[in-house]
Amino acid sequence: MSAPVRYVHMVATAYSGSTLLGMLLGSHPDLATVGELITPVRYGRIVQSGEPYPCSCGVPMIECAHFDALRARCRELGVELDLYDYGIKIQERGPSRHLPGAKRRAAAAVDRGRTIARALLDVTGRSVFLDTTKDLAPLPALARHPGLDLKVLHLIRDPRAFLHSTRKRQGAGAGSQTRFWRRTHEQALAAGRRLGPERFHTLRFEDLCREPERRLAEVCAFLGLPPADLLELAPRTTHHMMGNRARLAPFAGIALDETWKESLSTREQARCLRAAGPLATRFDYR
């Protein structure tokens, strides 16, 4: 097997700033990303409505020269790429992980993902690959794969902000959504203990917004990337990313949205923090 691919997997809940962080890191001259690699866009609303899926560069992804080059390089490496479904989603969690062949299927998916990452690095001439999918399920298979030099970037946001954003978009109840927040980050931290601090780094979204230069420098150091002024590079970089619609807007700086303080009552905020449990205190969400 060739040299391990330097592969970064981001873990977070939705509405935690992963798209913004992915765009910032994707502006680094040594890091390449297509955003959410694992999540098939085929099942999203845009494609389901019959519209072409837009690349963040502004043209349909199936017409984008960057993705054409990626698909061609993947073919050279033995992988036929469907841009609407990369075929590497892993369901290695819960009872399904014990089904016959589960580990073999997960390993095959990671092999395919490694080839896609290798192809993107070849096309871009960069050295570190980032997947912003946020999903925890692939972590065991990613960590086991000998062809990956894996690092995990754990992004966390105030549970009250997460609840506000989820309720605004989905109308979800407070208890179930905050419990989901807690489970996600408990499992992420458990994975971090197994991986060790040299392979796992936690970043609070609020800290990124308040001290962007310092926090981005810390992330770059963790990833083994040389220093770069990502805030300066981001608006001048043409991004080619999948993910939520925030990727389609020009980069206009970082601002902390705290509208949850007005939209959630004092009682709702207190209930949310109780449901978040000790993690809220650990990450100084009071």
Q: Measure Cα distances from 236 to 70, 249, 256 in Å.
A: 22, 13, 22
In the prediction, which pLDDT does 169 show? 76
Using a pLDDT cut of 90, give the percent of the chain over it.
79
211 in any annotated domain: yes
Please check the confidence at residue 273 and state whether its pLDDT lies above 80: yes
Range of the domain at 133: 5-158+196-251
Q: How confident is the model at residue 60 (pLDDT cuts 50, 70, 90)?
A: very high
168 in any annotated domain: no
In the prediction, which pLDDT does 245 show? 84
217: CB partners within 8 A, 6+ apart: 227
The answer to which of 81-95, 104-118, 191-205, 247-261 has the lowest mean pLDDT is 81-95
**Taking the chain, what is the end-to-end CA distance rounded to the nearest angstrom?**
49
60 in any annotated domain: yes
- Amino acid in the structure at residue 72: A
108 in any annotated domain: yes
51 in any annotated domain: yes
Cα-flanking dihedrals φ and ψ of residue 73, to 5°? Answer: -70, -40
- The total domain count for the chain is 1
CATH number of the structural domain spanning residue 236: 3.40.50
pLDDT in tens, 95-116: 555 556 788 888 999 999 999 9
Please check the confidence at residue 92 and state whether its pLDDT lies above 60: no
15 in any annotated domain: yes
Q: How far, in Å, CA of 177 to CA of 181, rounded? A: 6
Q: DSSP H helical segments within the chain, as ranges?
A: 18-26, 45-48, 65-76, 102-124, 139-144, 159-170, 174-195, 205-210, 212-223, 230-233, 260-263, 266-276, 278-282
In the prediction, which pLDDT does 243 show? 87
Q: pTM for the whole thing?
A: 0.93
282 in any annotated domain: no
Name the nearest CA neighbour of 186 among 151, 219, 156: 156
- Mean pLDDT value across residues 31-54: 91
- Mean pLDDT value across residues 45-57: 91
167 in any annotated domain: no
- Mean pLDDT value across residues 112-140: 96
Q: Measure Cα distances from 121 to 5, 38, 139, 238 in Å.
A: 9, 17, 21, 16
In the prediction, which pLDDT does 2 show? 80
In the prediction, which pLDDT does 246 show? 85
pLDDT in tens, 148-188: 999 999 999 999 999 999 888 776 555 688 999 999 999 99
pLDDT in tens, 220-261: 999 999 999 999 999 999 999 998 888 888 888 898 999 999
